[in-house]
Amino acid sequence: MSISDDFHVYDTTLRDGAQQEGLALSVADKIVIAQHLDELGVGFIEGGWPGAVPKDTEFFERARTELHLKNATFAAFGATRKPDTAAADDPQVAALRESGAGVVTLVAKSHDAHVERALRTTLDENLRMVADTVKHLREHGQRVFLDTEHFFDGYRANRAYALEVVRVAVEAGADVVALCDTNGGTLPRELQDVVRDVLDSTGARLGIHCHNDAGCAVANSIAAVEAGVTHVQGTINGYGERTGNADLLAIVANLELKREHELLPPGNLAESFRIAHAIAEVTNVPPSTRQPYVGLSAFAHKAGLHASAIKVDPDLYQHTDPALVGNDMRMLVSEMAGRASVELKGRELGFDLGGTKADRDVVSRVTERVKEMESRGYTFEAADASFSLLLTEEVTGKRASFFDVESWRVITESRADGEAVSESTVKLVAGGEREIVTGEGNGPVNALDHALRTAIERAYPVVNKFELVDYKVRILDSGHGTDAVIRVLIETADGEGSWVTVGVGHNIVEASWEALVDGVTFGLLRHKEVVR
Ligand SMILES: CC(=O)SCCNC(=O)CCNC(=O)[C@H](O)C(C)(C)COP(=O)(O)OP(=O)(O)OC[C@H]1O[C@@H](n2cnc3c(N)ncnc32)[C@H](O)[C@@H]1OP(=O)(O)O
Ligand SMILES: CC(=O)C(=O)O
């Protein structure tokens, strides 16, 4: 059952979203995504094109027994009957009928040139294809929506014919006619004028389906709603053919937060962030950090002047409260930080630095050090753990340290079997004991990581939980060739969370060692080991 039939939130992630380059969903993936969509509370889930794509046929079969939707109705997508064939005899129409979906969304041509050149039939026969197929499915008890492909381009080329397709579909029993900006090139004002004309001329219940080729898919969808459409199609994370479809979560957030529509069940908008990221895990497409509302950077503030105003009131630099979509505000500390950025970041990390003159001095020193270090290649916005160590150092007056390193070295040897293996030796004092440890690895950083953690494990057994999970190298100032500055970011995890540290140097191993030591040090602080 749809939440509300007054306004349709129609998701096509599993059909048009799956048309994105590089995105390939298994049937099991589609089932998991459908569960997330239903939990979010969309009204309709377009599951695919049964009869054309074997996985989609299987999806509808399995969905019937495996999915018990609370909020959504499934829609099966497919084309109108072939030219000069009875709808009842068309095997693809049969697949739609037999899909078990409560709704069939038929794609139909509404642009005269497409009818004549792509379908290779007459304008009249295309109208009969629409009417026959809609009637046939209605007679079999299915609700029918019609997607009018290339509607806006078709309207420009032959308004009368485009409108006739809409009228014929409604007369035959289609509940909704979705106007599709298939090539995604229409701009909002023109789109709105067309929607108004179609509403006035046909009285049809209209929907909108936009692509993002001109960067206007969300704006066009909102413009269409403002002009009177009551059914809006889109995909999670804006997946879709070419530059993608309209991002459904952004549309819903805009309409709920800025136009007072109630589209999802109460409270569900705040699930947007979680569900967008959960679906990105399934699609295996890295989520864009800059995605409106649900991107990791959507409420991340870098500029010092922004932070200083946010300190007074977050609304001064945010268009909405991130919590409403399940996201969080974050402060980024970098060379562009001012004292307010450092103070707010400190608060995020558990340091209250707003009060005394001593606090203000700490904030000023940290701000200066960050700017100076970033000018040498460090970056703190991606390395919260290194920033936290720097801040702790300025607050307590000493660098957190659990061991004294005497020396380290690493060699890489090419062996007779052609394998290159690295071996390192680390000498240090930890827990009052001098340790001399060697470590092997498939590369120098791996070998150093093993040796370092082995050398301190007697004093701090918790390091056995630590694991280096990501390692990124960036050559800064690459014009200097092998003399360039190298920045290394290391992510360390302990099974409960992860943290990132940074190291910089002219030597990649030296930069890595700095990031490794910070990584272990921050991990020990996290586990409340006592600093010497
Ligand atoms: C705008 C959109 O995104 S619509 C969704 C598009 N999605 C897909 O295409 C994914 C699934 N598609 C498929 O599996 C295949 O393309 C199929 C099964 C639909 C068709 O495959 P094939 O029969 O091998 O033909 P092909 O892919 O070359 O398409 C051309 C045929 O489709 C017909 N066709 C094109 N558009 C339409 C339409 N809107 N309605 C009905 N038929 C259409 C053409 O007339 C041509 O038919 P013909 O071979 O009888 O002359
Ligand atoms: C139907 C569809 O996906 C389109 O016209 O873009």
| Ligand 2 mutation pick, 104, 107, 114, max ligand atoms within 8 A of CB | 107
Which tokens hold the place of 504? 């910089």
Residue 314 has pLDDT above 50, yes or no: yes
- Give 502 Cα–ligand 2 centroid separation in angstroms: 46
Least confident of 171-185, 253-267, 332-346: 332-346
For residue 46 and ligand 2, the question of a CB distance below 6 A is answered with no
β-sheet bridge partners, residue 405 = 428
For residue 107 and ligand 1, the question of a CB distance below 6 A is answered with yes
CB-count exposure of residue 340 (10 Å: 0-12, 13-18, 19+): buried
Pairwise CA distance, residues 474 & 504, whole Å? 10
Burial code of 244-274, b = ≥16 C-beta within 10 A, e = fewer? bbbbbbbbbbbbbbeeebebbeeebbebbbb
For residue 75 and ligand 2, the question of a CB distance below 6 A is answered with no
* Mean pLDDT over each residue of the chain, to the nearest integer: 95
| Ligand 1 mutation pick, 59, 112, 119, 239, max ligand atoms within 8 A of CB | 119
pLDDT band of 206, cuts 50, 70, 90: very high
For residue 176 and ligand 2, the question of a CB distance below 6 A is answered with no
- Give 448 Cα–ligand 1 centroid separation in angstroms: 57
* Ligand that lies nearest to the alpha carbon of residue 49, given by its number in the listed order: 1
Ligand 2 atom at shortest distance from the alpha carbon of 178: 1
| Residue 121 DSSP code | S
What average pLDDT does this structure show over 456-474? 95
Fold of 8-283: TIM Barrel (3.20.20)
| pLDDT for position 113 | 98
| Nearest C-alpha neighbor of 445 from the set 498, 382, 509 | 509
What average pLDDT does this structure show over 322-349? 93
For residue 187 and ligand 1, the question of a CB distance below 6 A is answered with no
* Ligand that lies nearest to the alpha carbon of residue 80, given by its number in the listed order: 1
| pLDDT for position 101 | 96
Pairwise CA distance, residues 2 & 103, whole Å? 11
| pLDDT for position 484 | 84
- Give 387 Cα–ligand 2 centroid separation in angstroms: 48
Least confident of 219-228, 353-362, 397-406, 428-437: 353-362
For 401-432, the DSSP string reads -SEEEEEEEEEEEE-TTS-EEEEEEEEEEETT
Neighbours of 167 (CB within 10 A): 17
Order of strands across the sheet with 433-441? 403-414, 420-430, 433-441
Pairwise CA distance, residues 429 & 73, whole Å? 65
Residue 530 has pLDDT above 60, yes or no: yes
Give the CATH superfamily of 403-526.
Alpha-isopropylmalate synthase LeuA, regulatory domain (3.30.160.270)
Pairwise CA distance, residues 257 & 247, whole Å? 16
pLDDT band of 532, cuts 50, 70, 90: low
For residue 79 and ligand 1, the question of a CB distance below 6 A is answered with yes
| pLDDT for position 1 | 35
- Give 107 Cα–ligand 2 centroid separation in angstroms: 7
| Nearest C-alpha neighbor of 314 from the set 349, 352, 344 | 344
pTM of this prediction?
A: 0.87
SS3 441: strand
Contact (CB, 8 A) for 128 and 87: no
**Torsion angles phi and psi, residue 259, rounded to 5:** -130, 5
Pairwise CA distance, residues 235 & 74, whole Å? 15
Q: Where are the domains of the chain?
A: 8-283, 300-375, 403-526
Fold match flag (8-283 vs 403-526):
no
How many angstroms separate the Cα of 459 from the Cα of each of 184, 229, 439, 494, 524?
Answer: 62, 67, 18, 17, 11
Neighbours of 186 (CB within 10 A): 26
Residue 529 has pLDDT above 80, yes or no: no
Pairwise CA distance, residues 211 & 239, whole Å? 10
The 10s digit of each residue's pLDDT in 1-50 is 345 689 999 999 999 999 999 999 999 999 999 999 999 999 999 999 99
| Nearest C-alpha neighbor of 128 from the set 97, 175, 87 | 87
| pLDDT for position 417 | 87
- Give 504 Cα–ligand 2 centroid separation in angstroms: 49
| Ligand 2 mutation pick, 13, 104, 147, max ligand atoms within 8 A of CB | 147
SS3 148: strand
How many angstroms separate the Cα of 320 from the Cα of each of 253, 277, 323, 329?
Answer: 10, 20, 9, 11
Residue nearest to atom 12 of ligand 1 (CA): 52
SS3 458: coil
Residue nearest to atom 51 of ligand 1 (CA): 119
Residue 479 has pLDDT above 80, yes or no: no
What average pLDDT does this structure show over 88-96? 98
Sign of CA dihedral 242, 248, 251, 253: negative
- Note the ipTM here: 0.93
Ligand 1 atom at shortest distance from the alpha carbon of 121: 45
How many angstroms separate the Cα of 498 from the Cα of each of 205, 314, 419, 466, 520?
Answer: 50, 27, 31, 9, 11
The 10s digit of each residue's pLDDT in 236-273 is 999 999 999 999 999 999 999 999 999 999 999 999 99
Residue nearest to atom 3 of ligand 2 (CA): 16
